[in-house]
């Protein structure tokens, strides 16, 4: 499943959902602002409710920019996954996204390579 949208600035944000072994991985690319976060939610949420996975993995390795709407996106999906008895993780966030997650106190959700330090960090 793929959802693409084009912003005024020409930045394409895409979401590709992959289901495997009771997990859904959402590969997100581009920028996450208020408008894009709404589209990403509309793509992910119906699949969570339909498939009821045990884990949602948000692969943010190709997200170049994220504002507070991205934090809301993550926290909202965390609430949904908790209601389903599952979990959520953010995989390989780009350095700028990792920094925002750390500031927001969401470092516990991060798995993957810390590209800014060259270390592999699993939490």
Q: pLDDT tens per residue, the chain (123 residues)?
A: 433 333 334 355 789 999 999 999 999 999 999 999 999 999 999 999 999 999 999 999 999 999 999 999 999 999 999 999 999 999 999 999 999 999 999 989 998 865 444 443 333
118, containing H or E segment: none
Q: For residue 107, what is the DSSP state?
A: G
Place of tokens 């409710």: 49
The pLDDT of residue 116 is 45
pTM above 0.75, yes or no: yes
The pLDDT of residue 9 is 40
Q: For residue 32, what is the DSSP state?
A: E
The pLDDT of residue 114 is 59
Find all residues with CB under 8 Å of 49, minimum gap 6, and list them. 80
Report how far residue 73's alpha carbon sits from residue 70's, in angstroms, rounded to the nearest whole number: 5
Report the candidate in 56, 51, 92 with the shortest Cα–Cα distance to residue 77.
56
Q: Which domains does the chain have, with CATH numbers?
A: 2-122 (3.30.750.24)
């Amino acid at each position: 499943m793929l959802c693409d949208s084009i912003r005024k600035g020409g930045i394409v944000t895409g979401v590709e959902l992959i289901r495997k072994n009771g997990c859904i991985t959402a590969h997100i690319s581009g920028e996450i602002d208020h408008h894009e976060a709404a589209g990403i939610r509309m793509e992910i949420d119906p699949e969570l409710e339909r498939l009821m996975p045990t884990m949602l993995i948000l692969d943010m390795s190709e997200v170049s920019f994220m504002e507070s709407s991205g934090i809301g996106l993550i926290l909202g999906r965390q609430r949904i996954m908790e209601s389903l008895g599952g979990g959520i993780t953010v995989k390989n966030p780009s350095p700028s996204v990792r920094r925002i997650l750390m500031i927001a106190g969401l470092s516990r959700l991060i798995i993957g390579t810390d590209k800014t330090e060259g270390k592999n960090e699993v939490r």
